[in-house]
Amino acid sequence: MTEHVWSYGPASGHLAWADLTGYGVEASDGHIGKVDKHSYEVGDAYLVVDIGVWIFGKEVLLPASTVSRIDLEDEKVYVNTTKDQIKRAPEFHRDKHLQDPGYREELGTHYGIGGLPGQGPSGSHRA
């Protein structure tokens, strides 16, 4: 898995001091939920998104590299994935998965941004 999977991209507009908790999360095809927790540590950045609107009490972990843009004024985070791709992500349990390297590898592969070349859903690998 590359170190870039768990880092915000330079064009995302992420600022280390910004608290994203409560921000709306917009997938490429519409609203998906709200940020419940986030990390901005270099090489270990992620969003925990509450998607309880669809499935009561469900949360997903999104690697920071899925963030395409952050709008501080409108309090929204835009991600470069679809709602369906987020819903199909490996099940997330906060107590079990936040520090689990195997789970993170699985997520990177699911989003096509980690794991071994050719293992992503699109059959491609991004570094």
pLDDT for 7-26, tens place per residue? 888 888 888 888 999 999 99
Mean pLDDT of the chain: 80
Bigger pLDDT: 116 or 21? 21
With b for 16 or more beta-carbon neighbours within 10 A and e for fewer, the 51-83 pattern comes to beeeeeeebbbbbbbbbbebeeeeebbbbbbeb
Q: Are 76 and 24 in contact (CB under 8 A)?
A: yes
User: What is residue 120's predicted lDDT score, i.e. its pLDDT?
Assistant: 34
Q: Which two tokens stand for residue 21?
A: 């908790």
Per residue in 80-108, pLDDT tens?
A: 999 988 888 888 888 887 778 888 888 88
Task: Point out which residues pair with 27 in neighbouring strands.
Answer: 30
pLDDT at 53 exceeding the cut of 90:
no
Share of the chain above pLDDT 70, in %: 82
Q: How far apart, in whole angstroms, are the C-alpha atoms of residue 91 and residue 58?
A: 9
User: What is residue 94's predicted lDDT score, i.e. its pLDDT?
Assistant: 80
Q: Which two tokens stand for residue 49?
A: 């998104």
User: Nearest-5° angle of CA 53, CA 58, CA 64?
Assistant: 95
Could you tell me the end-to-end alpha-carbon distance of the chain, in angstroms, rounded to an integer? 9
pLDDT at 5 exceeding the cut of 70:
yes
Bigger pLDDT: 32 or 99? 32
User: What is residue 100's predicted lDDT score, i.e. its pLDDT?
Assistant: 85
- What's the mean pLDDT in 60-74? 93
Q: How far apart, in whole angstroms, are the C-alpha atoms of residue 87 and residue 125?
A: 21
